[in-house]
Structure 1
Amino acid sequence: MRVAREPITEENARGTRHSDPGVATCVSALWRVTMPYLEIATNLTKEKITPEILTNLSKLLSAILGKAEQYCVVRVIPDQLMTFGGSSDPCATALLISLGKLGVEENKGHAAKIYEFVENSLGIPGDRMYIQFFDKPSSEIGYKGTTFHQLLGR
């Protein structure tokens, strides 16, 4: 068993180098699988949200964040009473939550791919949706009866 020479921190888990390559690999692997969540609320009807759209959104989320799809959660909430810019034409709001893999530069790429998917698959133009990005601390996300803070060791 390899003993870490320095503490495993959230920063290490987010991809910075750990002095012990074995520990860095283990922590990096755990970090890659943790908890992306994409929610889209829209005024489109339920009938327009097909299982294929959900499946493809899940694959997209996994790909853009580089995280295992088995941990990805996608939720589309249709039939919302909502307007955008005073109009009830098709519109949406989106929420992307992740432990890591979000930031100033990363979000630009994520936004481009999510907007493209939403416009092509749901017909909602890019100027009729906002996306909020939340890079959550590991202590604020629960999993398997604890938090990722405990699972990651910090």
Structure 2
Amino acid sequence: MPILQIDTNLSMNSVPSEFSVQTCELMAHIFKSPLNFCVVHINTDQELYWYGLDGPCVLGTLKIVSGSGTISPEQNIEHAEKLVKHISDNLKLTNKNISISFVEQDAANVTIFNTTVSNFLQNKK
């Protein structure tokens, strides 16, 4: 269950209307997750300043629920390349103005369908 939160100082009208759908599709492919478990949350018009850089920037947080995708130091390099390229290409940003933090969350600490992800997955079997 990949959940990507994007904070940016771009305005909402700078984000293509299909960006969220395309980002979910990319994450589903990268993390081998069902599309209905992929979430994109975009916070535009944020007061962000990245010292020494000019123009718009993105700070992203990618939360991965344990068991629904794999993150590791080695895999994060490939994940970062794909996600940063996608964000850069679609939001018209230089890749040096994009940072993404990868965070793994325990399935017992995330809810979906009125229960925890771990409980949902156990009862699904």
TM bracket, shorter-chain basis: 0.7 to 0.9
Secondary structure of the residue that 1:51 maps to in structure 2?
A: coil
Could you tell me whether the CA contact under 8 Å between 1:82 and 1:88 is conserved in 2? Answer: no
The partner residue of 2:97 within 117, 123, 128 is 128
Report the equivalent of 2:33: 67
Is 1:106 equivalent to 2:75 in the alignment?
Answer: yes
Greater CA drift, 110-119 or 121-130: 121-130
Bigger CA radius of gyration: 1
Any conservation in 2 of the 1:103–1:135 contact (CA below 8 Å)?
no
C-alpha RMSD of matched pairs (Å): 1.4
Runs of at least 5 residues in structure 2 that lack an aligned partner in the other structure: none
Q: TM-score, normalised by structure 2?
A: 0.87
Structure 1: which 4+ aligned runs deviate by more than 6 Å?
none
Q: More relative contact order in 1 or in 2 (CA 8 Å, sep 6+)?
A: 2
Name the aligned partner's letter for residue 132 of structure 1: S
> What is the DSSP-based 3-state SS (H/G/I as helix, E as strand, rest coil) of the residue aligned with 2:18?
helix
User: Shift of residue 50 of structure 1?
Assistant: 2.1
Q: How many residues align?
A: 119
Determine whether 1:85 maps to 2:54: no
Say whether residues 1:138 and 2:107 are aligned partners: yes
Inter-partner Cα distance in structure 2 for 1:48 and 1:150: 39
The separation in 2 between residues aligned to 1:152 and 1:72, in whole angstroms, is 16
Structure with the higher fraction of residues in strand conformation: 2
Distance apart, 1:51 and its partner CA: 1.8
Q: 2:27 matched to 1:54?
A: no
Letter in 1 for 2:94: P
Q: 3-state DSSP class of the match of 2:26? A: helix
Q: Please state how far the C-alpha of 1:86 moved relative to its aligned partner.
A: 4.2
**Preserved contact between residue 88 and residue 95 of structure 2 (Cα < 8 Å):** yes
Matched to 1:126, the amino acid is N
Q: CA separation in 2, counterparts of 1:59 and 1:148? A: 20
Aligned partners of 2:16 and 2:90 also within 8 Å: no
